[in-house]
């Protein structure tokens, strides 16, 4: 499913640039994605769209988040640390954080890797029509080993 999401991010500038679900499903199939992955991604995107609508209505500051045991198990320490980093940097306000957590718990399978959580963060920005700044994109795509110190 995450490969489908990355493909959508790379090929469509924002959600409203995507064709309707039937046509998008055909395009994704033609691009070589499996039917089950396509259906899972499209269902996941429906939840993302609902979260984006709610997010616009509840932009608030200063909330403190206590994670449930299930959320901590699903996300893991590394991903939770990454989410906290984004919050402390001021680029992931509480409503967007909640979208990330919601979509992480909605993704099928076992515990998520940090790379999967980074894709979810990217898709949350995408769903809201926001472009993360260059430093955040660097955090999302460049591994620490690949960074060049200036």
Q: Which two tokens stand for residue 19?
A: 């064709």
Percent of the chain with pLDDT over 90: 45
pLDDT in tens, 125-139: 999 988 877 777 676
* Structural Rg of the chain based on CA atoms: 15
Contact 23, 135 (CB under 8 A): no
Please state the rounded mean pLDDT for residues 90-114.
89
For residue 120, name the pLDDT band (cuts at 50, 70, 90): very high
The residues near 35 (Cβ < 8 Å, ≥ 6 apart) are 29
Which pLDDT score is estimated for 36?
Answer: 94
Task: Give how far Cα 50 sits from Cα of 45, 65, 112, 127, Å.
Answer: 9, 21, 22, 10
Question: So what's the pLDDT on residue 110?
Answer: 74
Q: CA-CA distance, 89 to 83, in Å (whole number)?
A: 10
Q: Note the pLDDT of residue 141.
A: 64
> pLDDT at residue 144 above 60?
no
Predicted TM-score of the model (pTM): 0.77
Mean pLDDT, rounded, for 53-71:
70
């Amino acid at each position: 499913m995450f490969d489908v999401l990355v493909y959508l991010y790379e090929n469509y500038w924002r959600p409203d640039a995507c064709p309707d679900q039937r046509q998008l499903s055909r395009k994704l199939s033609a691009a070589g994605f499996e039917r089950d992955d396509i259906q899972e991604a499209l269902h996941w995107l429906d939840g993302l769209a609902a979260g984006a609508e709610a997010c616009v209505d509840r932009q608030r500051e200063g909330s403190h988040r206590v994670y449930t045991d299930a959320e901590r198990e699903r996300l893991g320490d590394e991903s939770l640390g990454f989410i906290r980093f984004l919050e402390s940097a001021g680029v992931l306000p509480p409503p967007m954080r909640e979208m990330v957590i919601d979509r992480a718990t909605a993704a099928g399978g076992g515990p998520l890797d940090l790379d999967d959580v980074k894709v979810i963060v990217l898709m949350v920005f995408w769903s809201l029509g926001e472009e993360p700044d260059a430093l955040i994109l660097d955090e999302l795509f460049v591994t620490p080993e690949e960074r060049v110190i200036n």
